[in-house]
Amino acid sequence: TQLLEQSPQFLSIQEGENLTVYCNSSSVFSSLQWYRQEPGEGPVLLVTVVTGGEVKKLKRLTFQFGDARKDSSLHITAAQPGDTGLYLCAGPSGGSQGNLIFGKGTKLSVKP
Contacts of 50 (CB under 8 A, 6+ apart): 30, 31, 65
Closest separation between CB of residue 37 and another protein, Å? 8
Q: Contact between 85 and another protein (CB under 8 A)?
A: no
CA–CA separation, 66 and 33 (whole Å): 13
Q: Binding to another protein (CB under 8 A): which residues in 1-40?
A: 30-31, 33, 35, 40
CB nearer to another protein: give 79 or 89: 89
Q: Contact positions toward another protein, by CB under 8 A? A: 30-31, 33, 35, 40-45, 48, 50, 88, 90-92, 97-100, 102-105
